[in-house]
Copies of this chain bind each other. A is one copy, B any other.
Amino acid sequence: MSDAQRLIEDVRSRFGPKAAITDPSDVEPWLNDWRGRFHGNAAGILSPSSTEEAAEIVRLAGESRVALVPQGGNTGMVGGATPPADGSAVILSMRRMNRIRSISAENRLAVAEAGVILEELHHRANGVGMRFPLTLGSRGSCTIGGLTSTNAGGTQVLKFGTMRSLVAGVEAVLPDGSVHDGLSGLKKDNRGYSLDQLLIGAEGTLGVITAVALRLVPAVASRAVAWVGTESPMKALDLLRFLEGRTSSIEGFELVPDDCLQLVLKHIPGTRAPLESNQAWHLLIEATTSDPATDIAADIERMLGEALEHGIIGDAVLASNEGQADAFWRIRDSISEAERAEGPTLAHDISVPVAAMPRFIVDASAEVERAFPGVIASAFGHLGDGNVHFHVRAGTHAAPDWYASEGGRITHVVDDLVVAAGGSISAEHGIGQMKIDELERLGPPAKLHALRAIKHALDPLGIMNPGKLVR
């Protein structure tokens, strides 16, 4: 019996069969990432039902030197929750810890356990007349623990920030089995380094998050969703500045190049172009208000009318009802699926300073298409955050081994361009196992040294998610 198997049996005898899953058919779905790019092995899944059980599991894992791989909804993009292939680690699933411990409109706070599904939190917040604003495509399966551990972003970052801005406190089991309780909900607390902030985005390498205190915001009274056409990413940024100078209601500002729209129209049934005119670039804009007295649609329509007069945009249409608004968002959310239907596509989740993004999109796309003739570079996404998904389609190069052969070289070129522009090779998806080599190749030495020092200081046995983020 391996050390891992002994740990699993020990946990089963202490906390019952639900806490130690070994049936291969129950384990298998969690050994690979959802996109099927990373494949791991593990003798089982440990699944605590409480913080106390989680702490005891981490303590036992330390004693037996068995590594733990924390896992929430397993919706990550960088293999951060996939166990190593050698089977030496076990999965630490947080899905049984799925209670919302408290929720208060008065305090504008919810305390959710790590395994709470994001969509469940959305519903519960709505139920008390409030809103948890962060959202993203996997909202029906991603968990609060995973979102916090990866400092997730999504489509409403422009107004509300990433998880880092929305987390009021973290409860976590540290690698020595002790429990850090940061759930007090204090607005001000200057008792030394912020462990909460250190654990946000640590991808489970400094401990496992068991619960999170989250800020709630007033519910949306009404929203306006617009589809806008313009001639360039520069004009798109001009529009953002124009709107930001007039309103603080803009939540979503998503850039879509016309070739991405055309792929969606080609591959996704039931979609249609929002505008009748031809436009080189498109924007999906969402504005919201929590004030029932504000006519947000009229405000946005007026501002877009002015932008049209100023020549900032070429065309615009406001969704006339919720169905049309959802149809606009469906186009945006279907781009990745449409690209995959077209052929192999390399994804790069990158950021540069907002002001530099339009130029970067144009120049980097040209550079990649020049260096790798036949491929097609498209950048879409969160222009207002300086974060786009810089995708490169194989185009005429669609050989079966394209990802492994040319793909790696393309990623090198893209990442080099990002670093040269003062940007980040991981804007919102994290490092996981996918980007660890690139982080080591390109990361600032001072920062890499500090990351390693912190990791080894807090996890000297190396039992928390080894091989992810930092080695």
Q: Interface residues, chain A, CB within 8 Å of chain B?
A: 104, 106-107, 150-151, 153, 157, 162, 164-165, 174, 176, 178-181, 184-195, 197-198, 200-202, 206, 241, 351-355, 382, 385-387, 422-431, 439, 443-447, 449-451, 453-454, 456-458, 469-470
Could you pull out 13 A-B pairs where Cβ atoms are within 8 angstroms?
A153-B188, A157-B187, A164-B197, A181-B446, A184-B424, A189-B424, A190-B427, A190-B429, A193-B201, A193-B451, A194-B201, A197-B198, A456-B457
Question: How far is B190's CA from A352's CA once the two chains are assembled, in angstroms?
Answer: 12
| B427 and A188 contact, CB distance less than 8 A | yes
| Residues on the B chain within 8 Å of A194, using CB | 164, 197-198, 200-201
**How many copies of the chain does the oligomer comprise?**
2
Contact pick for A451, options B153, B176, B192, B382, CB 8 Å: B192
Given A176-B449, A449-B178, is A424 in contact with B107 using a C-beta cutoff of 8 Å? Answer: no
| A445 and B178 contact, CB distance less than 8 A | yes
Question: How far is B429's CA from A124's CA once the two chains are assembled, in angstroms?
Answer: 36
Contact pick for A469, options B189, B192, B354, B387, CB 8 Å: B192
How close is A271's CB to chain B, nearest CB, in angstroms? 28
| Residues on the B chain within 8 Å of A181, using CB | 444, 446
| Residues on the B chain within 8 Å of A104, using CB | 355
| B428 and A190 contact, CB distance less than 8 A | yes
Question: How far is B180's CA from A450's CA once the two chains are assembled, in angstroms?
Answer: 9
Nearest neighbor of A350 in chain B, beta-carbon distance = B188
> What does DSSP make chain A's interface, helix, strand, loop or mixed?
loop
How close is A452's CB to chain B, nearest CB, in angstroms? 9
Question: How far is B188's CA from A157's CA once the two chains are assembled, in angstroms?
Answer: 9
| Residues on the B chain within 8 Å of A193, using CB | 198, 201-202, 206, 450-451, 454
How close is A81's CB to chain B, nearest CB, in angstroms? 15
Given A174-B450, A446-B180, is A425 in contact with B191 using a C-beta cutoff of 8 Å? Answer: yes
Given A194-B197, A354-B107, A469-B192, is A187 in contact with B451 using a C-beta cutoff of 8 Å? Answer: no
Add 16 more A-B contacts to A191-B424, A194-B201 (CB < 8 A): A162-B188, A164-B194, A178-B446, A181-B444, A181-B446, A184-B424, A185-B353, A188-B427, A188-B428, A190-B201, A190-B428, A191-B426, A191-B443, A192-B201, A192-B447, A198-B198
| A355 and B107 contact, CB distance less than 8 A | yes
| A190 and B150 contact, CB distance less than 8 A | yes
| A351 and B424 contact, CB distance less than 8 A | no
| B351 and A188 contact, CB distance less than 8 A | yes
How close is A176's CB to chain B, nearest CB, in angstroms? 7
Question: How far is B431's CA from A9's CA once the two chains are assembled, in angstroms?
Answer: 45
| B447 and A458 contact, CB distance less than 8 A | no
